[in-house]
Structure 1
């Protein structure tokens, strides 16, 4: 959800003070990287899963307050839309069979949450974009009651000065072109976020590795082909999120001003590169300051919270975001991989995460890293192409040239993932279970997005209109999601 704020609008004096504090935080953070001890006793990973709520009619239900009250579990929190909730998974180590315990815990937690949601008149849908969501659902109250969301909405539109134009055309020719007078479309984007705790001197290697494979993650894990009734990109979440939070008027785009949701523009040599870019390029959206004196805290030998820098970082939406955090008084660093959509099933989410952690480890540890042999623009092009075409996308990869993403995964990246997970200490049967899902997904050519598209087309061929087909597809999706078998095994109704 991000850090809470108290206000929804800010004075010029508050903005000036915030800018000064952010720069002061940045200076202290630079000193910390060279002199401070960061927590790294155990290699920890974390996960967040954003979820949708629907009623018996499979339409979004604006009831997260009552659903969360029914669930009564602090691991579940609000998200931007009243039809969204988020599950936060406690950090845990990766070795041995811990992933199997995580899968079991996720299944138990979501089953319990589903039962409690049902009691509140809702169902949980774990999917990248809710396919039954339509513009009319945003004509009444839709935003969660949280000052942060209201403040973000106000700040984005104040900076932009006009309505936001959403324009996405799918590879099949369908196009969505519309104006939005709020950030409501952003709430449609529900994801799985993977956290990896890293040492300061290794951060750049792991971030570069994550950037390099983000396109492949999208190709094999896409699950968001429909928005407002249109068949768009296989992972429409990405262009939708990029456009729905764009603070730039067209003239600023033409000047080359950077977007707040972006892939980046270069490989990095330190985590400082990213925080420094955030401060240099992006004006504040939520300029709330604290009374902390970071210099005094640092010079006293303690770890400053750097609240202004962290809050600012939370309003720059990189697909791989740098995280500075403090737990029990100890600072640590994380790479937050924000690429993947939610769903389709728990085992699919686990397989996607295992693939990511394994490949990232091997790329980061390589004597001749892939980012020294591939331009950053090539990685960005891979990302865009894979979001657009999903499992059928072609990518560029050093040593392979132009190659289908599924072929590259089978021939090269899955063996790397297996070796990387072994380096993390993950048991062989765990590696076989999750990487086997990725292998079968590539061999069948079916991921969440391709199944959704095939299902809707099949229902339309039977005479259903688009709205009915989307409703029928989602009904079948939820049945299969609860059954729990991986998406590559799902049959398309004939």
Structure 2
């Protein structure tokens, strides 16, 4: 969940100083945009995957500190809950066999990490929400030891001033509350990064917003929470509610939520950072010693630490990122829509679809976002989160159609064309996008497989819901380790 910070108490003076500093950073960022100081020579893609930890009985294992110690790989870091970790995959270009290289690298890293974790009786699972997770697993005591998480929890709870309520209705109904943000730890995602020029950024961000609904429909993998069957991608509703700083009165006044789809198409990356500064009070008002104006004027690259820290506490589903790598600044789109899993190859298929479709949309003669209301894109996003691969989605020139029909007839050809423009090898395109096609033809993604598998288990055994979830996860983990696309899994792999 972002940069590490030290534990501390904040004063009113801290907040005033931080507000002034973050606005100074915003002014410097505007100057940098005007002076074209960004690294745009070799656009790169990046990938982060959040992972769950379970014990031998497939229940959450609160052991991330121990697991990270035995993994001993700096690419793996803590996440919000003690039962989660994250792998940060080094960025690389897509061209040629770049996606295949990604797959090999991620599989090798995860296999090595899994072997190390198993040495201490812990297993790594790549899934949007652990089916075996119960309310007792997500309390303030289950937060990771990193002081950043305690500070964010304190600030969100203080801003809200009351318990966090979580209400989600799907096949079952969940109504509960928490005195911390710990339920958010249930949400584990696969985050895609795309480095672009500042000039291209608004088109790529708008395109990412347009395609977010289709991404979720194809990739949903979080149908269960606390033993209940809810949305196909329950992670979306849970994240939006678990980190909401607004009591009902502020919601009624139209105050924006910190987990945010947005509210308009943009014409500059500056629009998003300016909204962040204008609409959202600081959660972590920590000032850096750097004077960004002086740094810029002497010809160096400012870190803009306050702006970056503030941006990291506003959880847009497509987030703008400013970063400095090897002394060069760049901007990128961070796509946070997708859940983790089910397999590495499924994650890479989701990535190929995203990178391909957005490239084609960006280079279209008439931008799609000039033909589609922003509200329609947001409605698609939540419809897909709720209904997954069975969702109906709106698309200009087509109207509302089943998500699978939209993908097969419109979006898959765009994805092929876009990947070709990225220079992706033909056999790589065919393999990864063939997985997307297979999901549509079988009406099966991770969420659909989990839902069908649970019903199969409950119909063919005497297990109660808790034990049925453990059996579901056992079968899921077996499929995950096979690296076969989820739409090809049997409901009972022991019979396959």
- Fold-level match, TM-score > 0.5? yes
Counterpart pick for 2:249 among 248, 251, 258 = 251
Return closer, same or farther for 1:8/1:151 CA change in 2, 3 Å cut-off: farther
Segment drifting more, 385-394 vs 98-107: 98-107
Secondary structure (helix, strand or coil) at the match of 1:52 reads strand
Deviations, residues 260-318 of structure 1 (Å, cap 9, x unaligned)? 00100000000000000000000000000011111111111221100000000000000
Partner of 1:320: 318
Partner of 1:6: 6
| CA positional deviation for 1:25 | 0.4
Contact 1:8 1:154 in 2 (8 A): no
Partner of 2:40: 40
Secondary structure (helix, strand or coil) at the match of 2:180 reads coil
Secondary structure (helix, strand or coil) at the match of 2:303 reads coil
**Take 1:39 and 1:137, find their aligned partners in 2: how far apart are those partners?**
43
Partner of 1:303: 301
Secondary structure (helix, strand or coil) at the match of 2:14 reads helix
Deviations, residues 49-101 of structure 1 (Å, cap 9, x unaligned)? 00000000100000011100000000000000010000000010110012111
Contact 2:321 2:331 in 1 (8 A): yes
1:104 maps to 2:94: no
| CA positional deviation for 1:37 | 1.7
Partner of 1:469: 468
Normalised by the size of structure 1, how large is the TM-score? 0.98
Secondary structure (helix, strand or coil) at the match of 1:132 reads coil
How well do the aligned residues superpose, as a CA RMSD in angstroms?
0.9
Partner of 1:59: 59
**Take 2:449 and 2:200, find their aligned partners in 1: how far apart are those partners?**
38
Secondary structure (helix, strand or coil) at the match of 2:185 reads helix
Segment drifting more, 457-466 vs 80-89: 457-466
**Take 1:464 and 1:119, find their aligned partners in 2: how far apart are those partners?**
29
The unaligned stretches of length 5 or more in structure 1 are none
Secondary structure (helix, strand or coil) at the match of 2:166 reads strand
**Take 1:7 and 1:85, find their aligned partners in 2: how far apart are those partners?**
21
**Take 1:492 and 1:8, find their aligned partners in 2: how far apart are those partners?**
50
**Take 2:9 and 2:265, find their aligned partners in 1: how far apart are those partners?**
35
**Take 2:118 and 2:103, find their aligned partners in 1: how far apart are those partners?**
22
Deviations, residues 295-343 of structure 1 (Å, cap 9, x unaligned)? 1111112211000000000000000000000011110000000000000
1:132 maps to 2:132: yes
| CA positional deviation for 1:214 | 0.3
Secondary structure (helix, strand or coil) at the match of 1:214 reads helix
| CA positional deviation for 1:139 | 5.0
Count of matched residue pairs: 492
Partner of 2:89: 89
Contact 1:8 1:150 in 2 (8 A): no
**Take 2:63 and 2:8, find their aligned partners in 1: how far apart are those partners?**
23
Secondary structure (helix, strand or coil) at the match of 1:51 reads strand
Partner of 2:478: 479
Contact 1:95 1:427 in 2 (8 A): yes
Contact 2:220 2:388 in 1 (8 A): yes
Secondary structure (helix, strand or coil) at the match of 1:339 reads strand
Normalised by the size of structure 2, how large is the TM-score? 0.98
Deviations, residues 173-194 of structure 1 (Å, cap 9, x unaligned)? x110011111110000000000
Partner of 1:24: 24
Contact 1:234 1:450 in 2 (8 A): yes
1:226 maps to 2:224: yes
1:428 maps to 2:409: no
| CA positional deviation for 1:464 | 2.4
**Take 2:215 and 2:138, find their aligned partners in 1: how far apart are those partners?**
31
Equivalent runs, 1:368-387 vs 2, <5 Å: 368-387=366-385
Secondary structure (helix, strand or coil) at the match of 2:141 reads coil
**Take 1:98 and 1:448, find their aligned partners in 2: how far apart are those partners?**
25
